[in-house]
Structures are given as C-alpha cells and as structure tokens.
C-alpha cells in the first residue's frame, strides 16, 4: 500500500479502495457524491484508528511527550470538509479535532506520527508535540491556537492571493469550536472575511463543551448559526453525526465560495466522544448526554448508510480496516527508528522562518 504523496496534484483517493457493490445504486446521490462519501469514510476510519493508536501510546508512557488531543466523534464533520479541498490549491487551517480532515486534505499518517513521536524527519522537525504542524507552502497552515486565531491566518492567506492576483478559484477552510466562537480573534477574522467577501468556509463544531464549559455558559443566541446573519454571510446548521448531511453542506459551501458568494459558515452539532485531551476523563459530561442522538458514533452511522445504499459491502469494510491497521503498525515501527532532533545542530527557527517554509535544512 502506498502512502499518498504529500505534494499530490490530485487529491489522493482511498489508499485501500472499497469495491462498490453493483447490486443497488442510489438515484438520489450522484456518482461524485458517492465517491466523496467513500473517500471521507475511509479517512474517518483511518483517523479513528490512528488516534486510538496515539491514545494507547500516550497511556503506555515514554513515547509521546506532551498532550494528545483527539477528534473522536467529530470525524464526519472534519472529513466532509477535508474532501472538498485540493492540496496545493486551497488553504486549510485545521484544529485539534480535525485529524480526519487533515488526512482527507492529503496529510500522510507518517507526518502525524513523526510529529507525535518527535522525529526530526517530521514537518516540525520533532519540535512540536502534537497538533501545531503544517506545510505553509502547500497551503496547509499550522495551528496557532484552538481558539479562533487561525481564521485570520486563512483569511489573510486568501486576501494576499487576491492582492497578488493568484487567488483563481482557490478557497480556504478552517474550523472553530463552540468555545472558540466567543473570542475576539474569531470575531475579527470572521468580520474581515465577510467584509472582503473572501472564499472561506468556517466550520463550527459545536460539541457542546469548551473543555468543561457547557453551551449554556458559552453563548446566549439560540443556535450558533444565528451569528451568520450578524456577519452578513451564509450559514447552515446540520447534524454533524450524519456524513451525508455533512457532505451535502460542505459541497454546497465550497461551490458558493468558488462562485464568489463570500464566507460560508457551517455549524455542526455533535458530542466529543473523548476527553478534551487524553488526560481528561470528561466526567463533567452527564451520562444522559452520552445516550442522545448527538452522541451517535458518526463512523458507525456512515458505514451503515453506505452499506444500505449498496455502495460498499461489509467484507470490503473489514478488509479496509485490516489494511488500515497494518498501515498504522508499519508506520509506527518505521517512525520509531527515526532520529530525534539534535539540539546541537538545530538553529531553533520558528515555523515562519526560511528553514521550515523554504524546506531548507537547519
Ligand atoms: C487563551 C486560552 N485559554 C485557554 C486555552 C485552553 N483551551 C484550549 S482549547 C479549549 C477549549 C476550546 O473549546 P471549543 O472551542 O469548544 O473547542 P473543543 O475543544 O470543544 O473542540 C481551552 C479552554 C487556550 N488554549 N487558550
Ligand atoms: Mg467545544
């Protein structure tokens, strides 16, 4: 199995394609939708298993220095946005729950593992513990903070392209959590993007908690999508546990952004199915919440739907999972043998300096 090349001109499709059943085809969904759906499902499953591995390595101790922050339960929302984006053309600023989106955008799992395991061969040369990784030259922005600051970065990148005359039909995408929407950074970025009518998709993952702060202590409007009206942009609210709904929303948002309709807000309701980080047992989430519709596992829901549509068989999904498991195990073994950074050779440049942006060695 090959790992998708980082600089792929074409969006990498599933490294382990699932065989489409010829028994039934849906008349409601286009072939393109079906292909995106199966790709997104692949990245969701890859993300979940990769994150389970990261959680296990963290708990075992000794291998991962720093925190581990996972996107369990948020994979459909993240992947559905990621599959709309074209590596090398669009700008993407993912947050900590967006591992599935990163993979869908084109990040190979070796880059994730090199970052978490601190390998000098990684995109941050082993100097970032977890999620502040990126490839700015490829339009893949490194996260600054989870609390709204990436919005201005992605908006700024789009604005710069427009001023240089290189924007073309490229779009930008970033996410924010329910808590992140309360920050000044979110407001400033959103307002600038709206005023300049930038082709920016902003996904708001409302997982009902900002660490332990519930929605009731976070905002006073009825639904976060109400904010879209205030900014003068298009907004939509969806069930983020439903991959088909997520894809429909992000496909529409991407098309409208490309058509010059300005920023697009997509609010998804879901529940984080893990702690804020792996150090957190999320005991502040009441048990009854864990049995609500929002607590459904989006991967199980998505796989069931694909099988019902006749797009994939259970056998193909089982084979795919075995391939994913092998890919992860092989990559962990490979990265484990790679060197850590040598403090005497590093010149400790920040991300924005030539060493990382231009890909030069220290
Ligand atoms: C200024 C600041 N305060 C606190 C934190 C710690 N922190 C990081 S993420 C987070 C909660 C974010 O909640 P939300 O935006 O809803 O995103 P979620 O974690 O639910 O995905 C907190 C408190 C921080 N990074 N920066
Ligand atoms: Mg939240």
pLDDT reading at 8 higher than 60: no
The neighbour count for residue 19, using CB atoms within 10 Å, is 12
Show Cβ contacts of residue 78 under 8 Å, excluding neighbours closer than 6 positions.
47, 71, 94, 97, 98, 99, 100, 101, 102, 104, 175, 203, 205
**Which of the listed residues 97, 213, 276, 289 should we mutate to test ligand 1's pocket, taking the one with most ligand atoms within 8 A of CB?**
276
Q: Is 203 helix (H, G, I), strand (E, B) or coil?
A: strand
Calculate how far, in angstroms, residue 214's C-alpha sits from the geometric centre of ligand 2. Answer: 8
Residue 290 DSSP class = G
Instruction: Provide the CB-side half-sphere exposure for 290 (13 A, CA).
Output: 9
Contact 19, 316 (CB under 8 A): yes
Contact 313, 19 (CB under 8 A): yes
Residue 351: pLDDT band with limits 50, 70, 90: low
- Expressed in angstroms, the distance from the first to the final Cα of the chain is 32
pLDDT reading at 238 higher than 80: yes
Q: What's the topology of domain 31-337?
A: Rossmann fold (3.40.50)
What pLDDT shows up at residue 270? Answer: 98
Instruction: Specify the pTM.
Output: 0.92
**Which of the listed residues 78, 132, 211, 277 should we mutate to test ligand 1's pocket, taking the one with most ligand atoms within 8 A of CB?**
211
User: Which ligand is nearest to the Cα of residue 97, counting in written order?
Assistant: 1
The domain locations on the chain are 31-337
Residue 357 DSSP class = H
Tokens matching residue 56: 């296990």
CA distances from 224 to 218, 231, 244, 287 (A): 10, 12, 21, 24
Q: Whose CA is nearest to atom 12 of ligand 1?
A: 210
**Which of the listed residues 210, 215, 224 should we mutate to test ligand 1's pocket, taking the one with most ligand atoms within 8 A of CB?**
210
CA distances from 83 to 39, 243, 252, 268, 291 (A): 8, 12, 13, 17, 29
pLDDT reading at 38 higher than 80: yes
Q: Whose CA is nearest to atom 4 of ligand 1?
A: 147
Contact 11 CB / ligand 1 (< 6 Å): no
Largest CA distance in the chain: 62
pLDDT digits (tens, 9 = 90+) for 295-338: 999 999 999 999 999 999 999 999 999 999 999 999 999 999 99
């Amino acid at each position: 199995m090959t790992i998708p090349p980082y600089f792929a001109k074409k969006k990498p499709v599933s490294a382990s394609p699932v065989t489409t059943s010829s028994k039934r085809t849906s008349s409601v969904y286009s072939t393109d939708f079906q292909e995106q759906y199966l790709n997104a499902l692949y990245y969701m499953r890859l993300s979940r298993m990769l994150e389970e591995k990261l959680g296990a390595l963290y708990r075992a101790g000794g291998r991962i220095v720093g925190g581990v922050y996972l996107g369990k339960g948020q994979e459909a929302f993240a992947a559905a946005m990621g599959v709309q984006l074209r590596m090398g053309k669009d700008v993407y600023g993912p947050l900590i729950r967006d591992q599935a989106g990163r993979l869908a955008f084109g990040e190979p799992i070796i880059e994730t593992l090199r970052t978490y395991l601190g390998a000098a061969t990684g995109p941050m040369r082993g100097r970032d513990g977890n999620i502040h990784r990126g490839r700015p030259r490829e339009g893949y922005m490194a996260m600054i903070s989870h609390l709204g600051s990436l919005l201005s970065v992605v908006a700024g990148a789009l604005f710069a392209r427009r001023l240089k005359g290189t924007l073309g039909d490229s779009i930008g995408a970033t996410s924010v959590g329910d808590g992140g929407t309360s920050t000044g950074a979110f407001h400033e970025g959103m307002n600038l993007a709206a005023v300049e009518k930038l082709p920016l998709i902003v996904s708001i993952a409302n997982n009902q908690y900002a660490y332990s702060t519930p929605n009731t202590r976070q905002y006073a409007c009825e639904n976060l999508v109400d904010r879209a009206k205030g900014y003068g942009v298009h907004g939509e609210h969806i069930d983020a546990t439903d991959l088909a709904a997520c894809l429909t929303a992000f496909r529409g948002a991407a098309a409208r952004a490309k058509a010059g309709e300005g920023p697009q807000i997509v609010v998804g309701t879901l529940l984080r199915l893990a702690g804020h980080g792996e150090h957190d047992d999320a005991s502040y989430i009441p048990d009854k919440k864990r049995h609500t519709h929002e607590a459904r596992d989006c991967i199980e829901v998505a796989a069931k739907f694909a099988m019902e549509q006749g797009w994939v068989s259970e056998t193909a999904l089982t084979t795919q999972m075995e391939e994913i498991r092998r890919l992860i195990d092989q990559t962990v073994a490979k990265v484990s043998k790679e060197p850590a950074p040598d403090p005497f050779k590093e010149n400790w440049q920040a991300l924005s300096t030539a060493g990382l942006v231009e890909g030069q060695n220290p």
